[in-house]
């Protein structure tokens, strides 16, 4: 064997050894990478799953099972939709359609799951598509985060804000609108009337001889009478009518889309209801009546709300001269 051939063989052998070493290093790195990814998938606090294109579970990590309450074998027999609250089952559909069309790669929604124990939990769900080199959908990577505590806290905060707003607009004693809230609502009704060309009616009512109730039975009895009086009014209006406590023992009612004849009938029905009322307080029965003034707002009128209220008040003043009666304002 010539010296040159030996040199060539040595070079070839060296190159082969170098490639073999490089290959072994690549294999070791790949194994390490797979091990890291596997552990990251398994031990992350996020619920993670590999999901088939038809949305069935292929692989689930520990956290996914803990969040949903199901074991891995149970989840592997299920589709994602089976976990989802019935009202939220179509929430992902528009986004999935976009993924299948290739328009988006991933999306996030907040929806409800049904825990294995039957309780409702809120999750933030992120779905990402994994595709082949040719662009075909291979599978989804799904991540879920339990948002139940945060969502419940958010709902409680919203409820508290709503309650605070209601309290700010409501008369604490009679649970009708307070004067400010009524006027705001009335202004909205005026604007609506201008658009629809429909008028509305106003009733202003005062409890007759209310001072005698306070003097004879005390202010707590008077408060109780105010509550029962307001109930009588409320029981004789439609869902879209609204009532406010205008001050002291005066109440004001707005009747949308109502003419003067209809409003007088409503006021008369209220008057009869109040007249039949017997308020049981301690060992006494308290009876009261009311004086009702009625006025209407014509959609073609240029009158202000103050002028309308003044007309209803003038009509009520006439009614109070007779007590327990209904009087309509006439120009």
Same-domain status, 54 and 137? yes
CATH number for the domain that contains residue 269:
3.30.70.270
204, 250 Cβ separation under 8 angstroms: yes
Angle, alpha carbons 147-152-153 (nearest 5°) = 100
320 and 244 part of one domain: yes
pLDDT at 310 over 90: yes
Q: Quote the percentage of the chain above a pLDDT of 70.
A: 85
**Per DSSP, which regions of 67-150 are E strands?**
106-114, 120-131, 137-146
Residues 219 and 312 in one domain: yes
Region 87-102: mean pLDDT is 90
Pick from 262, 299, 292: nearest CA to 274 = 292
Res 288 pLDDT > 60: yes
Q: How do residues 122-136 score in pLDDT, each as one tens digit?
A: 999 999 998 888 888
Between 219-234 and 210-217, two packed helices, what is the crossing angle to 10 degrees? 140
Q: How many angstroms separate the CA atoms of 205 and 47, rounded? A: 62
Query: Rounded to whole angstroms, how far apart are CA atoms 209 and 249?
Result: 10
Considering the domain architecture, whether residues 241 and 106 belong to the same structural domain is answered as no
Calculate mean pLDDT across residues 259-287: 94
* Structural domain count, the chain: 2
318, 327 Cβ separation under 8 angstroms: yes
Q: Is there a domain that residue 251 lies in? A: yes
pLDDT band, residue 227 (cuts 50/70/90): very high
Q: Please name the residue that has the structure tokens 């999901």.
A: 51
- Residue 80 and residue 83: Cα distance in Å, rounded? 6
Mean pLDDT of the chain: 85
pLDDT score for 276: 95
pLDDT band at 14 (very low <50, low <70, confident <90, very high): low
- The domain boundary, picked from 118, 151, 184, lies at 151
Residue 8 lies in a domain: no
> Which of 155 and 20 is assigned the larger pLDDT?
155
Q: How far apart (Å, rounded) are the C-alpha atoms in residues 285 and 279?
A: 5
Tokens of 300: 């073609």
Helix %, strand %, coil % for the chain, to 5?
50, 25, 25
**86 in the same domain as 137:** yes
Specify whether 188 is located in the same domain as 56: no
Where is pLDDT greater, at 267 or 14?
267
> Rounded to an integer, what distance in angstroms lies between the CA atom of residue 254 and that of residue 179?
13
Q: Which of 41-55, 110-124, 177-191, 237-251 is predicted least confidently?
A: 41-55
> Among 66, 98, 249, 275, which one carries the catalytic annotation?
249
| The pLDDT value given to residue 271 | 97
Q: What is the pLDDT of residue 27?
A: 41
Containing structural domain, residue 74: 44-151
User: 324 with 230, same domain?
Assistant: yes
Query: CA torsion 53→58→61→63, rounded to 10°?
Result: 60
End of a domain among 120, 151, 182? 151
Task: Note if 261 is an active site residue.
Answer: no
In-domain check, residue 302:
yes
pLDDT of residue 10: 52
pLDDT of residue 322: 93
Boundary of a domain, candidates 121, 151, 181: 151
Contact criterion met (CB below 8 Å) for 271 and 324: yes
More reliable by pLDDT, 328 or 39: 328
Residues 235 and 147 grouped into a single domain: no
Sign for the pseudo-dihedral over CA of 171, 176, 179, 180: positive
**Do 75 and 146 fall into the same domain?**
yes
- pLDDT (average), residues 211-239: 94
The CATH number assigned to the domain holding 59 equals 3.30.450.20
- Render pLDDT for 31-76 as a digit per residue (tens, 0 to 9): 434 444 455 567 677 888 889 999 899 988 888 989 999 998 999 9
- For residues 118 and 112, give the distance between their C-alpha atoms in angstroms, rounded to a whole number: 12
Q: Return the beta strands (E) in 268-316 as ranges.
A: 279-281, 284-286, 290-297
Inform me whether the pLDDT recorded for 196 exceeds 90: no
In a domain, 160, yes or no: no
Tokens, residue 202: 């106003």
Average pLDDT over residues 181-204: 89
Is 7 a domain residue?
Answer: no
Residue 32 lies in a domain: no
Same domain, 135 and 188: no
Asked if residue 321 and residue 181 are part of one domain, the reply reads yes
In a domain, 179, yes or no: yes
Residues 217 and 276 sit within 8 Å (Cβ to Cβ): no
Inside any domain, residue 29: no
DSSP bridge partners of 255: 201
Q: What is the pTM of this model?
A: 0.57
**Claim to verify: residue 285 and residue 187 sit in the same structural domain:** yes
- The confidence score (pLDDT) of residue 35 equals 43
């Amino acid at each position: 064997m010539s010296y040159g051939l030996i040199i060539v063989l040595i070079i070839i052998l060296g190159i082969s050894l170098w490639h073999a070493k490089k290959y072994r290093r690549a294999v070791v790195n790949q194994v390490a990478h797979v091990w890291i990814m596997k552990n990251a998938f398994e031990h992350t606090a996020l619920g993670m799953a590999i999901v088939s294109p038809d949305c069935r579970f292929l692989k689930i990590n520990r956290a996914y099972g803990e969040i949903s309450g199901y074991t891995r074998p149970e989840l592997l027999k299920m589709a994602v939709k089976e976990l989802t609250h019935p009202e939220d089952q179509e929430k992902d559909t528009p986004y999935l359609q976009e993924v299948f069309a290739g328009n988006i790669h991933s999306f996030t929604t907040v929806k409800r799951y049904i825990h294995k124990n039957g309780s409702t939990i809120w999750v933030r769900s992120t779905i990402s598509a994994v595709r082949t080199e040719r662009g075909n959908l291979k599978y989804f990577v799904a991540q879920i985060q339990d948002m139940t505590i945060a969502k419940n806290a958010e709902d409680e905060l919203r409820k508290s804000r709503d309650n605070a707003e209601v309290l700010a607009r409501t008369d604490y004693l009679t649970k009708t609108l307070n004067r400010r809230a009524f006027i705001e609502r009335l202004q909205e009704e005026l604007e609506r009337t201008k658009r629809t060309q429909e008028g509305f009616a106003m009733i202003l009512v005062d409890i007759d001889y209310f001072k005698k109730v306070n003097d004879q039975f005390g202010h707590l009895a008077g408060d109780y009478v105010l509550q029962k009086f307001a109930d009588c009014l409320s029981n004789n209006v439609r869902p879209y009518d609204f009532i406010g406590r205008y001050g002291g023992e005066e109440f004001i009612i707005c009747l949308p889309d109502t003419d003067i004849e209809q409003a007088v009938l409503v006021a008369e029905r209220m008057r009869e209801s109040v007249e039949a009322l017997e308020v049981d307080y301690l060992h006494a029965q308290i009876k009261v009546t009311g004086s009702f003034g009625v006025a209407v707002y014509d959609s073609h009128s240029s009158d202000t709300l103050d002028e309308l209220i003044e007309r209803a008040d003038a009509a009520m003043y006439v009614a109070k001269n007779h007590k327990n009666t209904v009087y309509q304002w006439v120009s």
